[in-house]
Structure 1
């Protein structure tokens, strides 16, 4: 038996929606209009809720990403610190390239990264300490005395003592390398300070696992005109019998050789060549610490990188790396943004002598691509063979570690070649490099503001002004009369009094 149920009509216009009850039968058009209006309200409400939800979720995800990144960075820093404490004294030979850094570059070994940055900072110290102000009567010198060199640069805990300053002269025009004062009475008209030799102290030597002798070479200060000045031709290493080499086909770029071997008998700072200064100091330090484990680490940036490679070759070719009991001290070069130095035979001779070279380059930098733009190690072997007799056929040496500044989220996407070449930028890229294709993430607390110390490379939102490193009042001070003057500096270091004796002992040619 069927029971009749009351007819219940549900309407979208009932209570709560502004309609009447019981509702009147609406016409189709108003109902449709009201229905659409309701759906629009509902859609707006849902969209608004979803939008707020998405914003909240995005904010949460961003916070989580940030926390995750900070956690990863802390983990990397912790791992790096533990690695330094655990491994450095035990694996320093691998860090210095005993096995050609196989398996240590991709992904990069955290200890190797920290050591590269440390030696890069020692090369950077050459720029920070150099007086390139033409209005200074000390232009072309080091601004600090040798005994307080690292302290004056804010590196008191580096653990090295500078044993000698290096000076150079050259018969070729290098206006961006050799700085001259506008003062009529200057400290030297022909010499420039180009670097230093330092040795690790007892505490640092214990941490490193050996006594480390470091040579740091200065490069050009800013612009890159020196490339044109130096891109001349290859000449035999043994030419003029300055650097001995049994193979006359071993050649290096003539400008580098000039800079390394030239001297001026009339100048007390460069009456000995940079070569003679290096070899005598290395020999003296090896004799002094002959009963210890030793290493010779040479570093330089740009033009300084070429001098680093050339001096490393010379030290080993002449046997100055041998101790009195015949042990060979390992010689390693950490090169930053360096040009090619010699031909294929130079590369083969250098590597055959056991010199280890690790070259850190920015793939967008011009300098590592010269000289030898057309004939170099990248052309086919047949072409190399055909061109090896030409004075413009060059080859890089050692192992290359490629970095790319476009991977850093901190740096501008700029076309400035001096930024690509900047040493501080290279150290920043090293700090964030973990391997090819891996995310760029800073592994230490190294300040990114250092990138803009002498450049305009950081993105603006970091609020670090470009070229911010300046001497207070441009080095001017008030004297006792209240006048602004340039302060006097201590007497510049001269060559050791026994220099001539060491020159003769090593059999180096010198008429001084």
Structure 2
């Protein structure tokens, strides 16, 4: 009878014990859940059920639970052993020195943590972006760069933002840009599209080098931007990016977004390209006596910009220091589209750029553009189609994830869910290799998945699209009226500093 009494005691807490924080994939103890399960069976069993059969069922549940606990303990011990390696000793391997051979299947724990860390830096672009058309600051960053990570609760990441990046809306990708409905706004033609950050001294010591990171924002309008792709390849040299091979081509919309500018706009007087190149030049010179890395990250369309800027940095030779040392350049891409043709892929690889693309197999974005002529086509046919303006090829190494493997996520036909960056980070946390059970390695909160989606199973009781600005930015003034709070002006874009480095790069003739 003691066994029956125990089951009835825990029965009222059955639903709580099945919440996201006690569920099986975390690898926590299953005793409470198992007992509750048996209690539920007791409750619904016929009155003729005998006590021995109930005890037998309880023993089976406990035996099954013990087997799973033992497996979890073995996995935990393995992970602990792997994490004893120092990140500072193997950072080059984690950033693609050997093209991630042997690190993806099974999944290397340190690589997983690095992918999540850089993915969160890309996610910060969404969390900091003002996309509310009723805000007069729509299209800008909600925080000053000096308080960027602190404002997002990410002060522990150990980086400081050295420059914000802006782009002009006068391009063929209108869905990438957000505009305010206010007549008087911070800028009529600019959008904030990302940032350059540098690791601080303590973090650099832990990482084994001073890391210069570039994070690009993707779109905030779900997948509407795909229809804006002209699906037309254009030589990179057509937009004044130096390239010895005229057959190296990229998607025209990406290229225009990266290189266009507006002389009448304080933020877009210089193109995103010029902002990136001058800042990288400044930082490489500033830390010339240290070991450096350049790590570029982005999600969705931001992934395309990450790959394009990595190519530009290496093609221009900014990663080659005055003493001949070469700064490794790597791209950690999340749910990115194809960027260029096969000649672009070959040129990028010859320049030494390492690209790791994290994709969800059910996401449509990595499958475009180039739906018909791409890297999956037979080489002979691809060779014939090489000159066509819609023949594309992915670059780098691909890490495939599958959201159907996560017990936290519900079945859905919403393509936005399969494309969601927080969902990708959740899948990374539970991925241990092909055919391995999905178990969250760090216990990263699954509630983050629903920050900007409706993807978690309903019984976890996490509201969809839960991340909101407090009162949507409205504050109560002294006379009792509710108004939008004023923000500090973005006065630290330093166009003079950019112009100085543009002269040194030989790019100042355009101004």
TM-score by length of structure 1 reads: 0.88
Instruction: State the match for 1:14 in structure 2.
Output: none
Instruction: State the match for 1:249 in structure 2.
Output: 247
Deviation at 1:70, TM superposition (A): 5.6
Instruction: State the match for 1:388 in structure 2.
Output: 386
Instruction: State the match for 1:196 in structure 2.
Output: 195
1:333 pairs, out of 322, 331, 334, with 331
- C-alpha distance in structure 1 between counterparts of 2:136 and 2:401, whole Å: 39
1:213-232 to 2 correspondences below 5 Å: 213-232=212-231
Larger CA Rg, structure 1 vs 2: 1
- C-alpha distance in structure 2 between counterparts of 1:326 and 1:59, whole Å: 64
CA contact (8 A) 1:222 1:418 kept: no
1:55 pairs, out of 54, 57, 66, with 57
- C-alpha distance in structure 2 between counterparts of 1:218 and 1:500, whole Å: 24
Deviation at 1:297, TM superposition (A): 0.1
Deviation at 1:498, TM superposition (A): 2.2
CA contact (8 A) 2:214 2:297 kept: yes
- C-alpha distance in structure 2 between counterparts of 1:418 and 1:221, whole Å: 11
Deviation digits for residues 134-193 of structure 1 (CA, Å, limit 9, x no counterpart) = 011100000001001000001110000100000001433434320000100011111000
1:355-394 to 2 correspondences below 5 Å: 355-394=353-392
Instruction: State the match for 1:154 in structure 2.
Output: 153
CA contact (8 A) 1:128 1:153 kept: yes
CA contact (8 A) 2:171 2:260 kept: no
Instruction: State the match for 1:270 in structure 2.
Output: 268
How many residues are treated as equivalent by the alignment?
Answer: 465
SS at match of 1:371: coil
Deviation at 1:46, TM superposition (A): 9.4
Deviation at 1:490, TM superposition (A): 0.6
Instruction: State the match for 1:504 in structure 2.
Output: 503
Deviation at 1:445, TM superposition (A): 2.3
Instruction: State the match for 2:421 in structure 1.
Output: 423
CA contact (8 A) 2:125 2:193 kept: yes
- C-alpha distance in structure 2 between counterparts of 1:200 and 1:173, whole Å: 35
CA contact (8 A) 2:430 2:441 kept: yes
1:156-171 to 2 correspondences below 5 Å: 156-171=155-170
SS at match of 1:157: helix
Deviation at 1:75, TM superposition (A): 3.7
Change in 2 beyond 3 A, CA 1:316/1:457: same
- C-alpha distance in structure 2 between counterparts of 1:409 and 1:510, whole Å: 57
Runs of 4 or more off by more than 4 Å in structure 1?
44-47
CA contact (8 A) 1:340 1:372 kept: yes
Deviation at 1:62, TM superposition (A): 5.2
Structure 2: stretches of 5+ with no match in the other structure: 1-45
CA contact (8 A) 1:171 1:258 kept: no
Deviation at 1:327, TM superposition (A): 1.0
- C-alpha distance in structure 2 between counterparts of 1:449 and 1:76, whole Å: 27
Instruction: State the match for 1:400 in structure 2.
Output: 398
Deviation digits for residues 456-487 of structure 1 (CA, Å, limit 9, x no counterpart) = 11111111111110111111111222221111
Instruction: State the match for 1:90 in structure 2.
Output: 89
Deviation digits for residues 104-134 of structure 1 (CA, Å, limit 9, x no counterpart) = 1100111001000000000000000000000
CA contact (8 A) 2:360 2:403 kept: yes
CA RMSD across the alignment: 1.7
SS at match of 1:467: coil
1:449 pairs, out of 443, 447, 450, with 447
Instruction: State the match for 2:470 in structure 1.
Output: 472
Deviation at 1:494, TM superposition (A): 4.0
Deviation at 1:232, TM superposition (A): 2.6
CA contact (8 A) 2:429 2:440 kept: yes
Counterpart check, 1:178 vs 2:180: no
SS at match of 2:62: helix
SS at match of 1:139: coil
1:282-293 to 2 correspondences below 5 Å: 282-293=280-291
Deviation at 1:493, TM superposition (A): 3.5
CA contact (8 A) 2:217 2:302 kept: yes
Deviation at 1:416, TM superposition (A): 1.0
